[in-house]
Chains A and B, each alone.
Chain A
Amino acid sequence: MGQIVFDRPKALSDVQLTYCPGCTHGIVHRLIAQVIDELEIEGRTVGIAPVGCSVFAYNFFDCDMIQAPHGRAPAVATGVKRAHPNNVLFTYQGDGDLAAIGTAETVHVGARGENITTIFINNAIYGMTGGQMAPTTLYKQVTMTTPYGREKNIQGSPIKVCEMLATLDGTAYAERVAVDCVKNVNATKKAIKKAFQIQMAGKGYSIVEVLSACPTEWGKSPVEALEWIRTDMMPFYPLGIYKDVTEG
């Protein structure tokens, strides 16, 4: 009898993803599904899909999903969690959704210390709308709307979401991870699992920021894009745990 080393997790629907080749949304989707399987919480998990490339996330997970208006995923999650406190809630948001139009919801969900988990995909660009500058776009990064590179005195500075949310008392867990290599993908899964466990223990708001690749809008091959995460994104967005109430 063969031993299965790796197979599709049950919580991932049996449909093909709609993302571009090499887009790391797929990796993060799978990690969330694996965590749902491992914690055996599929029956009581509710995911909130954002607006952006991952708007169709409700098709890709086998658990209950709700599609929220742009940036309002934390608000929708708050409502579901307060009505059904035993459910496990996660919001899946990109940088445009979470750090631009939904900044108020993001900050206040942390301030209120809602028992929900946010998976934040930071790829430093607007993917779906055609590669414009995002709040997380790096200095000197060329996008459709910053053709000469982002300048601090013109477009302002990138938002470091984990650092910002870690200052709030209601935030229980904030960690930044990446999906650029096998080691970091495994670390990402561990972080997502921990965030879910912190939520299930009722400790407060948890966020996992994932440095992701957008090969299409960055104009790079999938392999080059992962390299760019390491060489350009990581120096500005250092990986690590920014807050963890379960430690110390």
Chain B
Amino acid sequence: MNKVTINIDWCKGCGLCAEACPKKIISLASDKLNKKGYHPACITDEEKCIACAMCAVMCPETVIKVEKL
């Protein structure tokens, strides 16, 4: 089990993480808004995460932390 933590208050919903994810388990939460009014990125199926950190590498805001548990 791997753990991805996203600081959603700083996320600007650009979607570059979702594009980079090889497992396609990141999406922009259409039912949620953060402080700045963006739809933040969220993990839809953390079980499938392989902790490659490609999302974090492409994130311009550096709000993603990836841990291998």
The chain A residues found within 8 Å of chain B, CB to CB, are 2-9, 12, 16-17, 19-27, 29-30, 181-182, 185-186, 215, 221-223, 226
Known: A2-B68, A5-B66, A27-B58. 17 other contacts (CB 8 A): A2-B3, A4-B68, A6-B66, A17-B60, A21-B13, A22-B15, A25-B60, A26-B59, A26-B61, A27-B59, A30-B62, A186-B57, A222-B14, A222-B15, A222-B16, A223-B16, A226-B19
Known: A182-B20, A182-B54, A222-B16. A24 touches B60 (CB 8 A): yes
Instruction: Please report the total number of B residues contacting A with Cβ < 8 Å.
Output: 27
A22 touches B3 (CB 8 A): no
Indicate if the CB atoms of B58 and A12 lie closer than 8 Å. no
Q: Which residues of B contact A186 (CB under 8 A)?
A: 57
**Distance (whole angstroms) from the CB of B29 to the closest CB of chain A:** 15
Distance between Cα atoms of A2 and B15 in the complex (Å): 27
Q: A-facing mask of B27-41, CB < 8 A → 1, else 0?
A: 000000000001000
Tell me if B67 and A2 are in contact (CB < 8 A): yes
Give which listed residue, A6, A8, A223, contacts B15 with CB less than 8 A: A223
CB-nearest residue of chain A relative to B55? A6
Given known pairs A21-B14, A22-B14, A182-B20, the reply for A3 and B67 (CB within 8 Å) is: yes
CB pair B68–A8 under 8 Å, yes or no, is: no
B16–A22 contact, CB under 8 A? yes
Name the residue among A4, A5, A226 with the largest chain B CB count within 10 angstroms: A5
How many Å lie between the Cα of A226 and that of B19 in the bound state? 11
Chain A residues with CB under 8 Å of B61's CB are 16-17, 26
> Chain A at the B interface: mostly helix, strand, loop or mixed?
mixed
**Bound-complex Cα distance A21 to B20 (A):** 16
Task: Give 18 pairs: A residue, B residue, CB < 8 Å, sorted on A.
Answer: A2-B3, A2-B68, A4-B66, A5-B2, A5-B56, A6-B57, A6-B64, A7-B65, A9-B62, A19-B60, A22-B15, A23-B60, A24-B60, A26-B60, A181-B58, A182-B57, A222-B14, A223-B15
CB-CB under 8 A from A185, the residues of chain B are 57-58
Report Cα–Cα, A132/B65, bound state, in Å.
36
CB nearest to B19 among chain A residues: A223
B53 at the interface (CB under 8 A from A): yes
Q: Knowing A182-B57, A186-B57 are in contact, say whether A6-B65 is a contact too (CB < 8 A).
A: yes
Contact A5/B62 with A22-B14, A223-B15 known, Cβ cut-off 8 Å: no
